[in-house]
A and B are shown apart, each in its own frame.
Chain A
């Protein structure tokens, strides 16, 4: 039962008391990773180094000197964070085989606190996508595809039909990290969030996905997609764990000039009992086209939940929401075009064999190294940055971005503390269905509810809420004020307690847990 528990409540204590050792924990996770290989959540499993880290952790526990709450805790990191000595690919041919010489700041921080790095997780190539389906190592499968809950509800179309073909996507682009946390192969994972890439897969995989305020956590070592919107994301199985991770990662980094200078104090989340002083805003524009009736109903129920508990629930307006997706695309592709310019095959990564001239080598390298999605965004971005287009597109989009950010400022100033919105338009789609549309279309659809928070730099979190009719996870999103993560997470934690989201019932996990599987009675929300 140890594997299924949250960090602080059980595992940390268990480690301290010696009921389980870091090495055992690590070995179990590694074994589980092997038996859930079909999920394709991991690109690289760092077995040797992980076991070594676990051993070192064990020594510390034996001496009674653990480094902190994260000592010995197995974690996974999305494969767009640099990890020294471990391959970092960004799920792209461009960086296949690339071994970074340094650790990203967030990775270093985790290691410094004794965390055990199990491996690098799968993603959409260069974090571009909303399905984790477009990486060179193949798509990630949502663990819920294999859950009892889903299987019970899915109607087999024919006898011969494999469960194989019915599997659902994890969402993206941090799908591997979300799947890893959801399938219990690690206790927490790092993702990245540029337009929703942590919250989207969190919602689809039924885990907590936190996007911190821009500037709170260092981006040094996170291979950049959009410098002005990227943040490292945190994926955990409960809100308390997210707070612990946040506490160990947040704070000024001299190596990242975009982190704020202010001191950050890690916090413990209070158990909120009285929500009467809380004002929840429901932005009407988030009733987006394509929002499933199921999710709409859930959203409504959640609002009622707060109301019935005494909180003030008001409808608010963020009028520029409908422009945000277009604005996001202009700014995102422009920065992408710039950030991808460094991949020329000269110093690292893939290099084409073409030798006739530097230009031809560059062109061939980049064509061979990048997939269609990446190349498409580079082309668009360069178009927007052309001298003749700069004012019309880039500068205009910057102005619209300011308007979008101001929408939030106005709403928060009017007395609203937290915004409550859906995270995704529907429950996770079957892979077959998802790939019917191209990446750009999908991203445009799926990012709608999440990317405004990136444009405004605000903190946002997905909290798993209930299972859909198909037995798949659905989550709701809370958006908070800048740098008010404590408030945001406190409310999220209260909500989490109310909804009692059911635990995934996965055969593989039961097998590895060596214990009596405990059915968790969920005060079912739906």
Chain B
């Protein structure tokens, strides 16, 4: 029996990736024997998948500086629905394999991209954007470490103008960072191999994160004949749109593509645009905001509670807040400094009650999370800016007086 939610997720994702949704798609059985495949076959969509011909736009910074961003596109070949297998855990010491069948049969969405990317950085950026899209749609939490998003990289090299070379498939990539590393390593390996007069085998390799390299996977032998056969227990999947929807259909039994389209949430690219427009921040800022889970919401919350201009707030968010969180490996949600606390602090700064140096000091104090408000800290540490001109003059005079020598030396310059 087909899982409705899976179909909806696939349609949403297909629409978000600008694909054509196939109103009729088919299911097939892919046969092979493996301990984690209890039926001896996997149900997939080999003949006609649910969505085809889409595109994914992503951005890269040139030269590693967040100052110049360039937009690239990778074509999406197709999206297909299929079943997950179980998980095998090899226990080599006891020469046995443990099989966990809990996730066997659970629905998967396979997104197949065309070979439009040229290096690890591009691959990582594209996957990152895909991740954000999936999370926004709610199709998947897409956390790679938890296996919610699994990425296999197909890599080949060729001289410009010549046809694509033989490709290898790299598996066992557990994070976006490793994806970039694996791709770059494999590219290098292939180039070296070819320059040494060798050939590239059409094989499957595993990424070894400890060594930072790819190694051939011992399980896969040459070409396997999967004996594809139409899945007899699942009739063709028919999707409707507003035009083709029959009048008397039970709405529980059908999926209306247009209905789903109308309800799509704002995709990351749209969200970024809105942030830039609304707050006057730079595009690269919007990227960082969306890249960090919860950061955009934090930023907007602070902006609401403070008189400081968003263009100035963003600096505090991206430099001070974010770097602190990164240093201590905290997520935005785990931040000891709430948006209201930060807003209070920024208000003090804006009203010129403290200097920006003082503000940084207060912030450092706030990180300790002792629960004091910025105002309390300011008072405690006597960080108030002196508004009284006369008082200031006195202090400065005192300092100058105390440093006569310095002053004399400075004045001529």
Contact = CB atoms under 8 A, between A and B. Distances in A.
Decide whether A and B assemble into one complex: yes
A121 B318 CA distance: 74
Interface stretch (A147-155, A250-258, A475-483): A250-258
A344 B99 CA distance: 13
A49 interface: no
A342 B40 contact: yes
A163 interface: no
B33 A257 contact: no
A362 interface: yes
B227 A386 contact: yes
A257 B101 CA distance: 23
Interface string B1-22: 1100000000000000000000
B188 interface: no
A358 B35 contact: yes
A90 interface: no
B31 A385 contact: yes
A335 interface: yes
A47 interface: no
B171 interface: no
B33 A338 contact: no
Contacts of A228: 232
Contacts of B229: 334-335, 338, 385, 394
Contact of B227 (A255, A342, A362, A385): A385
A387 interface: yes
Contacts of B40: 338, 340-344
A382 B227 contact: yes
Q: Among B97, B229, B253, which residue has the most Cβ atoms of chain A within 10 A?
A: B229
B33 A390 contact: no
B235 interface: yes
Interface string A373-390: 000000000100111001
Interface in A477-501: none
Q: How large is the interface on A (under 10, 10 to 19, 20 to 34, 35 or more residues)?
A: 20 to 34
Contacts of A386: 225, 227
A75 B378 CA distance: 87
Contact of A257 (B227, B228, B234): B234
Contact of A390 (B2, B39, B101, B228): B228
Nearest to B234: A257
B1 A257 contact: yes
A342 B38 contact: yes
B299 interface: no
Contact of B228 (A342, A343, A359, A385): A385
B389 interface: no
Contacts of A341: 31, 33, 39-41
B357 interface: no
A346 interface: yes
Interface string A159-193: 00000000000000000000000000000000000
B329 interface: no
Interface string B28-60: 010101110011110000000000000000000
A358 B228 CA distance: 23
A375 to B, nearest CB: 15
Interface string A256-268: 1110010000000
A387 B229 CA distance: 10
A254 B253 CA distance: 11
A346 B38 contact: yes
Contacts of A347: 38, 101
A226 B228 CA distance: 16
B3 to A, nearest CB: 11
A44 interface: no
Given A257-B1, A338-B31, A341-B33, 5 more contacts: A258-B235, A338-B29, A341-B39, A342-B39, A346-B38
Interface of B: 1-2, 29, 31, 33-35, 38-41, 97, 99, 101, 225, 227-229, 232-235, 253
For the complex of A and B, the 4 pairs showing the least CB-CB separation, nearest first, are A341-B40, A227-B232, A385-B227, A228-B232
Interface of A: 226-228, 254-258, 261, 334-335, 337-338, 340-344, 346-347, 358-359, 362, 382, 385-387, 390, 394
17 contacts: A227-B232, A227-B233, A261-B253, A334-B229, A338-B29, A338-B31, A338-B40, A338-B41, A342-B38, A344-B35, A344-B40, A346-B35, A347-B101, A358-B97, A385-B227, A387-B227, A390-B228
